[in-house]
Amino acid sequence: MSLERVPLVNLRKEGDLNVVTISNGVNNSLTNEGLRDMMMALTEAISGNNNSIMITGSGERAFSVGYSASCTKISDKMHLEEAYSLGTSIARIILRNDRPVISAINGYALGLGLEIALCSDFIISSRRSQFGMPEIKFGIPSLTGFVPEIPDKYPGGLFAAVKSGAIFGIQEAQAFGMITGIIDSRNFMRDAENYCRKMETRLVSMLKPAERVGQYRQAIDSLFFRIYSPSCLTMTELERFRNSI
């Protein structure tokens, strides 16, 4: 008897809110399988009703620490190209659909996790959350194609911080214009869902169809894969780094 696989990203329809939850261990890392699950969850959320979408992570440690450093297939160029294809598709879904998308972050939002959050229309967060793209230091590129778009959406100093690979906290995130609201509560998930329900999002629904992922900048970003070599990845060091945070 075969057992049905448990999705790494699942959709829960909670009244007038669609909740998409990343659920893969304590760090909610994302694999190609998880990215496919996220595409399915977002597609179902968009096709099912007109409700807002909240993306979050399970547990209290992380929204997502990024692309899986333990994935042995990452040394395969075609495998990472598939991740890039899935990541860019997810970015398009978030940016182009006419539903408000809110990322609710409680803990770490790093690498690919941060990219997904930045594509959202709003980010709400606990004060304990931390952000950044340390993956860049270990040879993993932007997997959504969105990083070159950051200066347009967030014209503060966020782009420089992301390129540096530094990890920064909630005060810096506020200064960069990333954060819509802060939730101080022991029951983050409950209060995040209530916060999303109370948000005024009608204007976003009117304006979003005009937004597009920059095709020219995506083409520039995809040049990485023409020169990509597995030797540029230092996955052991990335895994050691993640275990230290």
**238: in domain:** no
pLDDT surpasses 50 at 97? yes
175 domain-assigned: yes
For the chain, what is the domain count?
A: 1
pLDDT at 20: 98
Which residues make Cβ contacts (< 8 Å) with residue 79, sequence separation at least 6? 32, 71, 73
Whether 127 is in a domain gets the answer yes
> Rounded mean pLDDT of 193-202?
85
Classified as helix, coil or strand, 86 is helix
CATH number at residue 135: 3.90.226.10
Q: What whole-number distance in Å separates Cα of residue 11 and Cα of residue 56?
A: 11
214 lies in some domain: no
pTM: 0.90
Q: Is residue 49 part of a domain?
A: yes
Given a contact cutoff of 8 angstroms between Cβ atoms, the answer to whether 97 and 212 are in contact is no
Specify the amino acid at residue 190: R
pLDDT of 21 > 80? The answer is yes
Is 56 part of a structural domain of the chain?
A: yes
Residue 236 lies in a domain: no
pLDDT (0 to 100) of residue 245 = 86
pLDDT tens-place string over residues 125-181:
999 999 999 988 888 878 898 888 898 889 889 999 999 999 999 999 999 999 999
Task: Supply the pLDDT for residue 148.
Answer: 83
pLDDT at 212 over 60: no
pLDDT for residue 210 is more than 60: no
In a domain, 76, yes or no: yes
Confidence class of residue 213 from pLDDT cuts 50, 70 and 90?
A: very low
Joined together, the tokens standing for residue 176 give 């960069």
pLDDT of residue 1: 47
Q: Which domain holds residue 77?
A: 9-189+201-205
pLDDT for the residue numbered 216: 45
Torsion-angle region of 56 (φ positive above 0: left; ψ -120 to 50: alpha; else: beta): beta
Task: Write out pLDDT tens, residues 41-80.
Answer: 999 999 877 899 999 999 999 999 999 876 666 677 778 8
